[in-house]
Structure 1
């Protein structure tokens, strides 16, 4: 048994600032009091301890208080992605078999019609029912359930336990260190593992979180340049916008700023090089919903020497490549450790999350001779053209190094001669001719990897956590 994180943190450092949102701050004691009050209100409205509930809302303090209230009740929280369609939300609500959805008033229009729910305002205006909050949690207690993005087939509801989150947070702090003055900028959604893991680390480490309702490039640039925050979690597109913002303003990262943890897919090498010129420390990281955030992280010191690598596994974790007999051999990435989910719920509840103790990620990568992980691409995004394997991320990396390209996404389309050929979708910074982009790729890629067509689009399809959704690129052709 382990202590209730919220109660324990408030006991240890009650007066320390825990949360900063739009100029307002809360201490850990105030967070505890707010969350206990919400828990008592939920109880009086019929939410039972250890019940499974769904939560939907934007990243703001009201959502955080509701999450912590559910943690006091030891409820299993199904984190709903507010960027999904009603049909997609309905699937997750039905699959998880939740009785009720706790929804922020702002998001009520996102819910499927007729769905039973409780508005945050209803909870906040209810007289609470006092109860004895459990001071201890078991490691195998499910805390959160997050649905994978469903790259192939239906999304799976992934269980994340107290033990999973705790192991992930401890491995992270062993890697990056800790100061009580650290302030983590959270501009990623709280319903996503990257956002929720920031909250977990805050409770375990005792550091403050500066919360954004949504990613704000200008705010992030100024916070980093002025030393208002020390850490940030970002995906590649967010990192690119921060880099551009610093460059446009002629700014550098403050000496107080320690690092950006960059995950959610391979980070283009060009971004790492630009970051170093701006004195912006970037640590590439690799993780997934099934691993409660990070599995491997590359230190900033090694960023240029091991350009493109996601680093070595964190302390408690192990990584191997399926069927690889030597370094440099590409294959599916396998992961083992206490941060790996014990399993799924709903339609996939009978499916084991591991095979012989190893999580099969569906990602393709390799380990070099020093044991550094290089993530190449999603296996499901692989393009096979004339018998040759083409990884979209490799082409995207080249396109993103062109000065006219803001964003790039690549997928395969059917071709009578080759079976499949790569096609590129790009968001531009300035006008550029297709011939110039094609020639740029020809000089840097094998001929069969050069995109057959280039489509200029206003935006690329992305998930709630800003990951590129390659499976939806073909829809842009219609």
Structure 2
């Protein structure tokens, strides 16, 4: 058993700054008291201890309070991506069997109809009911559930336990170190593992979070220049915006700023070299939803010597390459206490590991010094602005249109987003690309909608009639 993180952190460092949002700030004691109040209010509204609930909203203190309140009640928290369509959200809510949705007032209209829900304002104005708050948590208890797109086009609900999060946070701090004045700037969504892991680290490390609900590049860059923050997580597209702002101002990162973790896909070599010129320590990292954030991270001192590498596994983690070819390239497999114990819903019976190893579907190799190089993330995966997009999910939507006979999707390089999805379709009746675009917009999140739809007579396939997406990319 482990202590309730929120209660324990408030006991250890009650007056230390915990959260900064615009001009407001909260201590750990204040977060504890306000989250306990929300837990009592949720109990009044019928949220039972140990139930499975969903949360949706922007990255604000209200979201954090609601998250902590559900943690107090030991709920299994389904974190909903607020960028998804109503149809996509409906699938996740049905698959997860969440008993209700706790939703920010501004996001209420994004939910599908006939969903049991309470807005944040309704909860805040509710009466309080006494409830016994658990002082200890089991290491096997599922704290969070996040959906990650599957290669079949059906998203999988990934369990993340107390043990998973704790192992991830501990391995990270053993890698980057910890000082009292450390502060994380969080401009990544809290419904992503990159954002939630910052929340967990704050509770376990006792460091402050500067939280942003929008990516305000000017203000964020100024924090880096002034040394208000020491750490930040980015994807390539946000890193480039920060670098551009630093260059425009002919400024450098403060000596107090320690490290910027870059995930969500490879970082261009040019970005790393530009960061070096601005005294900005950028380290590439490799992780996934199934591993509660980082598995491997490149140290800053190796940043230019091992350009393109995701580094070595963090202390408790192991990596190996399954069935390597003559060049040592094969599927990346992961083992460690941060690996999810399983899925829920449609994939509840699917084992996450084989003989203890998580098979990622990513292709890479480990060099002679033990550094991991990721060559291709899940073979056909498209990474656009840090968001994972699976071609099969878009293809499945296109194939539901009566005019489409066949569909194939691949990623095209894009200067701003890294990659964008491009669709190839074989028609069985006449329709315009504009009409198909509108159809996709109704069923897919905006970042998943193909940026271009190309009409073709046939799609490339192999002898087993399997679609060759790599060939699409060449075309």
Band of TM-score, shorter chain: 0.7 to 0.9
Match of 1:409 in 2: 419
* Aligned positions of 1:436-455 closer than 5 A: none
TM norm structure 2: 0.83
Match of 1:130 in 2: 130
Given the alignment of the two structures, is residue 347 of structure 1 paired with residue 368 of structure 2, yes or no? no
Give the Cα–Cα distance (whole angstroms) in 1 for the partners of residues 141 and 235 of structure 2.
29
> Residue 232 of structure 1 aligns to a residue in which SS?
strand
> Residue 39 of structure 1 aligns to a residue in which SS?
helix
The structural deviation recorded for 1:413 is 7.0
The structural deviation recorded for 1:114 is 2.0
The structural deviation recorded for 1:382 is 7.5
Give the Cα–Cα distance (whole angstroms) in 2 for the partners of residues 171 and 313 of structure 1.
9
Conserved? CA contact 1:151–1:380, under 8 Å: no
Cα shift readout 1:34-65 (whole Å, capped 9, x = no counterpart): 10000000011110000000001100000000
Match of 1:97 in 2: 97
* Aligned positions of 1:427-466 closer than 5 A: none
Give the Cα–Cα distance (whole angstroms) in 1 for the partners of residues 379 and 21 of structure 2.
39
Match of 2:49 in 1: 49
The structural deviation recorded for 1:473 is 4.1
Match of 2:378 in 1: 379
Give the Cα–Cα distance (whole angstroms) in 2 for the partners of residues 10 and 125 of structure 1.
25
Give the Cα–Cα distance (whole angstroms) in 1 for the partners of residues 188 and 150 of structure 2.
19
Match of 1:336 in 2: 335
Give the Cα–Cα distance (whole angstroms) in 2 for the partners of residues 412 and 195 of structure 1.
28
> Residue 109 of structure 2 aligns to a residue in which SS?
helix
Cα shift readout 1:240-276 (whole Å, capped 9, x = no counterpart): 1111111112111111111110001111111111100
Cα shift readout 1:112-163 (whole Å, capped 9, x = no counterpart): 1221101111110011112221110010000000000345420000000000
> Residue 356 of structure 2 aligns to a residue in which SS?
coil
The alpha-carbon distance between structure 1 residues 152 and 274, as it changes in their structure 2 partners (threshold 3 A), is farther
Match of 2:368 in 1: 369
Conserved? CA contact 2:309–2:373, under 8 Å: yes
Match of 1:162 in 2: 162
Match of 1:176 in 2: 176
> Residue 369 of structure 2 aligns to a residue in which SS?
coil
> Residue 356 of structure 1 aligns to a residue in which SS?
coil
Given the alignment of the two structures, is residue 358 of structure 1 paired with residue 354 of structure 2, yes or no? no
Conserved? CA contact 1:189–1:214, under 8 Å: no
Q: Which runs of 4+ in 1 moved over 3 A?
A: 149-152, 405-408, 410-416, 472-478
The structural deviation recorded for 1:414 is 6.5
Match of 1:9 in 2: 9
Match of 2:220 in 1: 220
The alpha-carbon distance between structure 1 residues 72 and 96, as it changes in their structure 2 partners (threshold 3 A), is same
The structural deviation recorded for 1:476 is 5.2
RMSD, aligned CA: 2.2
Conserved? CA contact 1:285–1:310, under 8 Å: yes
Gaps of 5+ in 2: 383-409, 427-443, 456-475
Conserved? CA contact 1:381–1:411, under 8 Å: no
Conserved? CA contact 2:363–2:379, under 8 Å: no
Give the Cα–Cα distance (whole angstroms) in 1 for the partners of residues 320 and 68 of structure 2.
36
Match of 2:66 in 1: 66
The alpha-carbon distance between structure 1 residues 151 and 215, as it changes in their structure 2 partners (threshold 3 A), is farther
The structural deviation recorded for 1:379 is 3.1
Give the Cα–Cα distance (whole angstroms) in 2 for the partners of residues 377 and 344 of structure 1.
24
The alpha-carbon distance between structure 1 residues 250 and 350, as it changes in their structure 2 partners (threshold 3 A), is same
> Residue 379 of structure 1 aligns to a residue in which SS?
coil
Match of 1:207 in 2: 207
The structural deviation recorded for 1:75 is 0.1
- How many equivalent residue pairs? 411
> Residue 122 of structure 1 aligns to a residue in which SS?
helix
The structural deviation recorded for 1:68 is 0.2
Match of 2:187 in 1: 187
Conserved? CA contact 2:423–2:454, under 8 Å: no
The structural deviation recorded for 1:325 is 7.2
The alpha-carbon distance between structure 1 residues 107 and 374, as it changes in their structure 2 partners (threshold 3 A), is same
> Residue 333 of structure 1 aligns to a residue in which SS?
strand
